[in-house]
Amino acid sequence: MNNYVKTALAVALSACTFSMAVAQDKVISVGLNGDIRSTDPGVNRDDNTDAVMMHIVEGLVAYREDTSVAPMLASAVAVSPDGLRYTFTLRDGVHFQNGQLLTAKDVQWTWQRYLDPKTQWRCLAEFDGRGAAKIVDVAAPDANTVVFTLDQANGLFLAAMARPDCAGSGILHPDSLAADGSWRAPIGTGPFTLGKWQKGQYVELERFKDYSSRAEATADGYTGNKQAFVDKVRFEVIPDSASAKAALLSGGVDLLPDVTAMDAAQLKQVKNLQVQVSPIMTISGLLFQTRDPLLKDVRIRRAVALSLDYSQMVAALSDGLSMVNNSIIPTASPYYDSTAHQGYTYNLDEARRLLKEAGYRGEKIRMLVNKRYPQMFDMGLLSQAMTQAAGLNIEMETLEWGTQLERYQTGSYQMMSFSYSGRFDAAQSYESVIGDKDKEPRKVWDNPEALAILREAQREVDPAKRRPLFDQLHRLMLKDVPMVVIYNGTAIGAMGKRVEGYRSWPVAKPRLWGVKLADTSK
Amino acid sequence: MNLKTPALPGVAAIPPRRRRRYPPLNALIGGGLLAALVLLALLGVVWTPYDPLKLDLLSRLHAPNAVHWLGTDEFGRDVFSRLIIGARTSLWISLLSVSVAVVCGTLIGMLAGYLRGWTDRILMMLNDALLAFPGILMALGIMAIVGASQYGIVLALGIAYTPSVVRVVRGSVLSLRELEFIEASRVIGNSELYTMFRHITPNCLAPLCVLATSMFGWALLSESALSFLGLGVPPPAATWGSMLSASRTYISNAPWLGIFPGIFISLTLLAINLFGDALRDRLDPRMRK
Amino acid sequence: MFRFISHRLGMAVPTLLLISVIVFALIRLIPGDPALLMLGDMADPQSLADMRSSLGLDHSVVTQYLIWIKSVLSGDLGVSISSRQPVLDLLVERFSVSATVVLVAVLLATLLAVPVGLLAAWKQNSAMDLGLVGTATLLLSVPSFWLGLLLLYVFGIQLGWLPVIGYVGFGSDPMKALTYVVLPIVTLTLVEFGAIARMARASTIEVLRLEYIAHARAKGLSEGAVLWKHALRNAFAPTWTLIGLILGNLLGGIAVLETVFTLPGIGRLMVDAIFSRDYPVLQGCLLLITCIYVLVNLLVDLLYPLFDPRVKL
């Protein structure tokens, strides 16, 4: 009994002193809706993994706040006139988290590892010839210069490099691997280092005290000056959104980077909380199977498009935070212009007339939805209710998410309510829907003319020349109605009042550099 | 002490000195509640205070008031109306599931109990395997395959509860088949099948009824649990379980969305339990579960 | 007794095999595979093929099964597709959380329910009895996850006394860990209390009517001694069976409670594994649960003679 009491006292005492020591550090706790998969950037990842890893590693280029691509670890990028050679000049004096200086050899090593099929890098298909262009060679002519050689011109090369789902092609130090070549821990150049990872519960990051920041005044997306101010970031794994919200309200968590629109409306009214909204590049809408015996008639598809009251729908779905967007180019994209702004006008009479002309006699149309993503579900619900007024008989079929994905992949559906994850270049957005259905059944829009225009937009490097191509594609899509795009998502961050400097942005990932915790008694 | 009537499990037994004829308290309360709920569900077929499917985006999340007695949900639909049609759907699904389990289980149980030998061994091995399988997982699996429809749930729950029925029926058959009147039936020349159905079946009814009552409650609970985990009955059919599940996101600002479906589920289960107790006492006083 | 145990364990093996086949087939019947779920709407055919072969999904189902059985027999349950953690470690981790909550709750429920059941049976048909039975039946009728939600709302959100999310292991911080498991344990205790109390009461009533109780009373033993020495032991037997049943079933059904309280337990692990089609984890979980089910049944049957001397093994 005596021993037990002693141990208990010792535990209690050390817990007290430990918590006292820790209280000096500024720790911000952030809610993640799932645990990270691994600490190997771009390999075995998902959205949450990318979000965390982008604090630890940095790539040669990165996305700016407006989703254009700009240098990050590079100080300058030069493209040869034929578009085949990209020369990156590295910044001076950039330190890895183990104290070593960044050299061109490290960049070369990192890329050789990425391009090795054994690594199973997420974006390998982009760069090994199966995608847009093939990297033929990565050379390091001197300590500060890296030259990439491609086999054909590709306007999306830098954008692909900056993709967050490849962890921005973050540059790693060779010591990230153990002596036998297996993965150890990420040694990057980012503003945070990896701390403790308690699987299933939390991931902690610690501020990298010798972070070599860029010269700009502030952060700009994933580039600019990313100096961190908090000492620790603790990503808490809270898969359940109701619990996450409860945690925010009770102060268990400081920041939730991704709350729903309805939650935001409620949280805005709470005194100690603030809300930060940004449009993002996800696309939500209704997909049609244009090879379906009933829906292959464009008049029926157009009737659906004309029987939706978009402003009311979007106001309800996004709680007034998004605008209607019938273009597949997200509103946050630099290519969203007046042409993209054109869409479908709510017109029940015209819808009815089209249905009559097409000889629609009230046949049942099945629309697939799922309960895992409430917005997809609600979008289906509202669409079904609204199209009824035009005489359309749409029936919702709820599937489990994995099952719905399978049907999307194989094209076996009539209609479905779906969301596409964010693509940061307009060509990538179009790429996700245009294709040859025989080769890729998941593609919604099978139109050879559209495909040709898309290929040209992918090759073209000059933004001024790409713009009219995207305008053309949009006008074609409005005519063909292979799908009805309804709106883009928003990233809504909800946080306690003492969080300063956090901004949601179109790439939708949380960023904890530049964020301060104001001094208030907790 | 009077040892005439052995005690009846689970319920206030009628003490010897009071020999009234009318049914015990729990049968009255349970039966009464159940009848009220069924009536409510049937009423919902023809009338509800508001259209439970009509979306009214302007009156979302209103607290209970004079206009909407139990408030409105996230789409502006009247909660009370949805609870009423929810009663119909939830009760119907539970009833169907139990029926499926009873029919399949009885058939299999009879086969196993009557035929014995290898048929019995194999069937019981399969049965035990199914019993050990976590019901919720099997239900999730089946519904992911078949799709989250009313009939998917019925199939899933039916399969999950069949093993319990098999056990009970087989047990009854085993104890009954040795009795004299079965022997007599065979001697007369009746076929095995006829004997099985004509004589054995009616005698299995008592424990089966009791089990069925319990299963009805389990089915109701399971349907809510499945909705809670993400695979409920799809719209426009409202069920109490899916309403409860949807209420979680709004628990801090619209708690009435979760309170009322929960109350209704609890009341129904209470009624089933009380009525089931009374039924058990009436039908099979010696049975212990 | 040794023969009994070895016979039962022997019978369990074909059950396990059967279940493993059912599980293996069932989860592969579900449309969508883990590769597709990981890639989502970005799944172009090449990445999908790459992912599938890296997960070992490009063999035939039978081959996959044989590979899996072989590795299980050598003690390797594989690696989770979602988290790349070894399945065995995952199972141990998650199971200890669920087991803590379940065992403590059932223990508390039994400790509370059996005396209450005895009391109610002793004072049968009194107002106290009706009150106790009524409460027990009411508690039995309330869905556990609804009760959990209500308690969470009152104690976590409105009063703010207890934390709403997460879990801290007892190893790292015992005091804090306690606050995280209080609500789930209380919820489960309340719900199971109803069932156990009713059963205890029912079987005690039956025993109290029997002859030997009358004998004991005639001998001059006090009511307390009668109750305690004779009634309890025999009344406990069916209650013990019920407890075994509850324990066996809770492992599957605890998923909802874990979802409400965000406990990293085995129920949620299974549900998440189904949604992400994490085949190795699902297979491992089901093996574990079946083993537990068999063991619990065995234990119940072994200890039964302790309570009911008429029963021989």
Parallel/antiparallel/unpaired status of strands A27-32 and A516-517? unpaired
Selected residue with higher pLDDT from B214 and B60: B214
Nearest by CB to B249, from A242, A315, A372: name it: A242
- CA distances for A486 relative to A127, A160, A314, A479, angstroms: 32, 26, 7, 16
% of residues, chain A, pLDDT over 70? 94
**Quick check: C265 pLDDT over 70?**
yes
**Quick check: B211 pLDDT over 70?**
yes
CB B141 within 8 A of CB C27: yes
**Quick check: A419 pLDDT over 90?**
yes
If you count residue pairs, one on A and one on C, with CB atoms under 8 Å apart, how many are there?
109
Residues of A whose CB is below 8 A from C92: none
First vs last C-alpha separation in chain C: 7
**Quick check: B252 pLDDT over 60?**
yes
Q: Chain B interface, mutation test: which of C256, C286, C308, most B Cβ atoms within 10 Å? A: C256
| pLDDT confidence of residue A522 | 47
Residue-wise DSSP of A469-496: HHHHHHHHHHHH-SEEEEEEEEEEEEEE
Identify the three-state secondary structure at position A419: strand
Selected residue with higher pLDDT from B25 and A281: A281
Most confident among A332-346, A389-403, B44-58, B269-283 (mean pLDDT) = A332-346
Cβ of C146 within 8 Å of Cβ of B244? The answer is yes
Pull the structure tokens for residue A33.
């809706």
Q: Is B186 exposed, middle or buried (0-12, 13-18, 19+ CB in 10 A)?
A: middle
Estimate to the nearest angstrom the gap between the alpha carbon of C247 and the chain centroid.
4
d(CA B280, CA B210): 6
**Quick check: B17 pLDDT over 60?**
no
Residues of A whose CB is below 8 A from C174: 11
Nearest by CB to C19, from B133, B142, B217: name it: B133
Selected residue with higher pLDDT from B279 and C282: C282
CB A149 within 8 A of CB A127: no
Give yes or no for A366 touching B (CB within 8 A): no
Pull the structure tokens for residue C296.
């619990």
**Quick check: C72 pLDDT over 70?**
yes
% of residues, chain A, pLDDT over 90? 60
| pLDDT confidence of residue C308 | 65
Pull the structure tokens for residue B194.
């006829």
Cβ of C262 within 8 Å of Cβ of A240? The answer is yes
Residues of B whose CB is below 8 A from C295: none
Q: What is the largest CA-CA distance in chain A?
A: 91
Selected residue with higher pLDDT from C121 and B216: B216
A427-461 pLDDT per residue, tens = 989 999 999 999 889 999 999 999 999 989 888 87
Nearest by CB to A406, from C31, C45, C84: name it: C31
Q: Chain A interface, mutation test: which of B231, B239, B243, B245, most A Cβ atoms within 10 Å? A: B231
Selected residue with higher pLDDT from A7 and A272: A272
| pLDDT confidence of residue A236 | 92
Taking only Cα atoms into account, the Rg of chain A, rounded to an integer number of angstroms, comes to 25
CB atoms within 10 A of CB C171: 8
The model carries a pTM of 0.77
Neighbors of chain B with 3 or more C-beta pairs under 8 Å: A, C
SS3 per residue for A282-306: EEEEEEECCCCCCCCCHHHHHHHHH
Residues 292-311 of C with CB under 8 A from A: none
| pLDDT confidence of residue B4 | 41
Selected residue with higher pLDDT from B187 and A98: A98
| pLDDT confidence of residue C137 | 87
Look over chain A and give the mean of its residue pLDDT values, rounded to a whole number.
88
**Quick check: B134 pLDDT over 90?**
no
If you count residue pairs, one on A and one on B, with CB atoms under 8 Å apart, how many are there?
54
Give yes or no for C80 touching A (CB within 8 A): no
Residues of A whose CB is below 8 A from C40: 405, 421
A495-504 pLDDT per residue, tens = 999 899 999 9
Tokens 């209970």 found at: B64
A254-272 pLDDT per residue, tens = 999 988 877 888 788 888 8
Sign of CA dihedral A228, A233, A238, A242: negative
Identify the structural domains of chain B with CATH numbers, from first to last. Answer: 25-45+74-287 (1.10.3720.10)
CA atoms within 13 A on the CB side of A179: 0
> Could you tell me which chain B residue has the CA closest to the CA of A380?
B235
Residues 263-282 of C with CB under 8 A from B: 267, 270-271, 274-275, 282
A353-406 pLDDT per residue, tens = 999 999 999 999 999 998 778 888 889 989 998 998 899 999 888 887 888 998
* Residue of A450, A482, A485 whose CA lies nearest to A469: A450
Pull the structure tokens for residue C110.
């039994």
Amino acid at A21: A
Cβ of A371 within 8 Å of Cβ of B231? The answer is yes
SS3 per residue for A203-252: EEEEECCCCCCCCCCCEECCEECCCCCCCEEEEEECCCHHHHHHHHHHCC
Comparing A110-114, A166-170, B126-130, the range with the smallest average pLDDT is: B126-130
Alpha helices, DSSP H, located in B147-253:
150-176, 180-188, 192-195, 201-229, 240-246
Cβ of A263 within 8 Å of Cβ of B55? The answer is no
Mark residue A167 as left, alpha or beta (left: phi above 0; alpha: psi -120 to 50; beta: remaining).
left
Mark residue A132 as left, alpha or beta (left: phi above 0; alpha: psi -120 to 50; beta: remaining).
alpha
d(CA A40, CA A37): 9
